[in-house]
Structure 1
Amino acid sequence: MNFKELDQMVGWEQDLDNIDWKSMLKDIDRALMDNLAAELGFRTYEQLEQASERIVQDYYIVYLSDGRYVWWNPVRYAKEDPLYFANKEEVEQYIASLLKLDNEKRAQLQVGLARIPRMKRCAVCEYEFNPTDPARSKWDSKEEQHEFCSAECAMEHVMAEMKEDFTG
């Protein structure tokens, strides 16, 4: 081994020592959460989290626009895929069995599941969104834009219609 190769190895080791591993792990965790959100049809992890109901510990349920329920866990996502259920009865049965709920707790679960709002799919960007989100009133105070997840998508739709009117 010559001195030039040795010098390059020392430089590489110094670069490795200077990596901010905490920041890198945080970026990886963020990317995983964004991937989870995208997998479930949401623009951001925050929107997925806001649209979901926490059931127990780190387990959440979300009610998608296509009528399916999804059981997911952000902590275990790298090892455990979200579970999809065709209807409320299936997800209720799964949770009741998993948590070994008695009749009283199962009744509470039924009430909780009934409160989860069904998401809608945006007509423009096709992301899932919560139509009951109070933040929507800031840009849709008359509740006329129920097909769109955001003011930007509503405006994009209007602009596309205007362009079509002009170009035929």
Structure 2
Amino acid sequence: MSDHRQDWEAALDSIEWDEVLEEVGEQLKTNLAAELRFRTYEELERASQFLGAGYYLTHLSDGTWAFWNEKNYVEEDVQRFQDPKAFIQYVIEQFQFNREQVESLIESMREARQMKRCIQCGFDFDPQDPVREELGIDGIYAEEGASEEFCSPQCAIENVVQEMKES
């Protein structure tokens, strides 16, 4: 029994806990992104309006607003709001915002871009993400003049292949 306990303790001592915690943190961020229908946490973060103190606001493709905190998203659920007024009311009540702070918040909300949903993969994406422009994938539409977009060349190609298989 004693040898078994020593083996167990030795195994615990050999674990790199910092690495384990970092991996867990990265997986939790991935889960947060998936919950909000983004492919990666980095895409979610770039698509969101930073409000300060770790808080972000994301205008999702379905028109709703998601309010989340990068520091305590594990303990706190993402708050979702159907319209801007509901979000502003929530912030006033939760954070006791004064008039100047509310005006600043409203300005931040005006700057927040509404996401689009990829018609192939279903993930939300920021149509004005600078990365899309750098890669030359800005405005990859399902059809010429259509408002439906693909989030990436990969999704556009997958759609074409799928259509070819179906015909």
TM-score class, shorter-chain normalisation, is: 0.7 to 0.9
| Runs of 4 or more consecutive aligned structure 1 residues displaced over 4 Å after TM superposition | none
- Distance in 2 (alpha carbons) for counterparts of 1:57 and 1:130: 23
Matched, 1:139 2:141: no
Q: What does 1:2-13 correspond to in 2, within 5 Å? A: 5-13=1-9
Aligned pair in 2 of structure 1 residues 133, 77: CA closer, same or farther (>3 Å)? Answer: same
Highest Rg: 1 or 2?
Answer: 1
Cα RMSD for the two superposed structures: 1.6
* % same residue: 39
- Distance in 2 (alpha carbons) for counterparts of 1:109 and 1:73: 16
Return the offset for 1:118.
0.5
Q: What is the TM-score normalised by the length of structure 1?
A: 0.87
- The question of whether the paired residues in 2 share the 8 Å contact of 1:63 and 1:117 is answered with yes
- Distance in 2 (alpha carbons) for counterparts of 1:115 and 1:95: 17
Q: What does 1:118-137 correspond to in 2, within 5 Å? A: 118-137=114-133
Of 11, 15, 18, the match for 2:14: 18
- The question of whether the paired residues in 1 share the 8 Å contact of 2:61 and 2:116 is answered with yes
Return the offset for 1:109.
1.5
1:162 maps to a residue whose letter is: M
Of 65, 72, 89, the match for 1:69: 65
- Distance in 1 (alpha carbons) for counterparts of 2:8 and 2:140: 59
Q: What is the TM-score normalised by the length of structure 2?
A: 0.88
Unaligned residue ranges in structure 1 (runs of 5+): none
Aligned residues: 160
1:36 maps to a residue whose letter is: L
Of 122, 137, 153, the match for 2:155: 153
Report the equivalent of 1:111. 107
Deviations 1:13-41 (A, max 9, x none): 11111000111111111111111111111
Aligned pair in 2 of structure 1 residues 6, 102: CA closer, same or farther (>3 Å)? Answer: closer
- The question of whether the paired residues in 1 share the 8 Å contact of 2:140 and 2:156 is answered with no
Unaligned residue ranges in structure 2 (runs of 5+): 142-147
2:70 maps to a residue whose letter is: P
Report the equivalent of 2:37. 41
- The question of whether the paired residues in 1 share the 8 Å contact of 2:58 and 2:112 is answered with yes
- Distance in 2 (alpha carbons) for counterparts of 1:8 and 1:144: 60
